[in-house]
């Protein structure tokens, strides 16, 4: 679980924060409502998760709410990994 958290957090920091951004994020930081990841960018994040964890997340489940924090994302990935 912690490993997944670290991987996703690292990916979000690397891909969605600016290089010299001093804004730090953790697993509870709102990503979508906080404006770090917008609804268009969610698609590349979803694609990353699907590849990394070898899952398929149906569009109906890829809601802004499900992607709003790293914790929510972990829950989503776990749900589809279990299937």
Give the binding site for another protein (CB under 8 A).
Answer: 15, 18-23, 30, 32-41, 43-44, 47-48, 51, 60, 63-65, 68
Q: DSSP characters for the chain?
A: -HHHHHHHHHHHHHHHS-TT------TTS-STTTTSS-TTTHHHHHHHHHHHHT----GGG--TTTTSSHHHHHHHHHHHH--
Question: Least distance (Å) from another protein to the CB of residue 78?
Answer: 22
Question: Least distance (Å) from another protein to the CB of residue 7?
Answer: 15
Complex with another protein: residue 1 or 30, whichever CB lies closer: 30
Measured distance CA(74)–CA(56) in Å, rounded? 14
Complex with another protein: residue 2 or 24, whichever CB lies closer: 24
Question: Least distance (Å) from another protein to the CB of residue 83?
Answer: 20
Complex with another protein: residue 1 or 9, whichever CB lies closer: 9
């Amino acid at each position: 679980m912690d490993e997944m958290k670290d991987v996703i957090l690292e990916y979000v920091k690397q891909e969605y924060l600016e290089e010299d951004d001093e804004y730090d994020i953790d697993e509870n930081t709102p990503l979508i409502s906080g404006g770090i990841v917008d609804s268009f960018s969610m698609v590349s994040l979803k694609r990353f998760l699907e590849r990394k964890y070898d899952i398929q997340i149906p569009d109906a489940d890829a809601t802004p709410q499900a992607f709003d924090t790293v914790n929510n994302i972990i829950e989503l990935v776990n749900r589809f990994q279990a299937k």
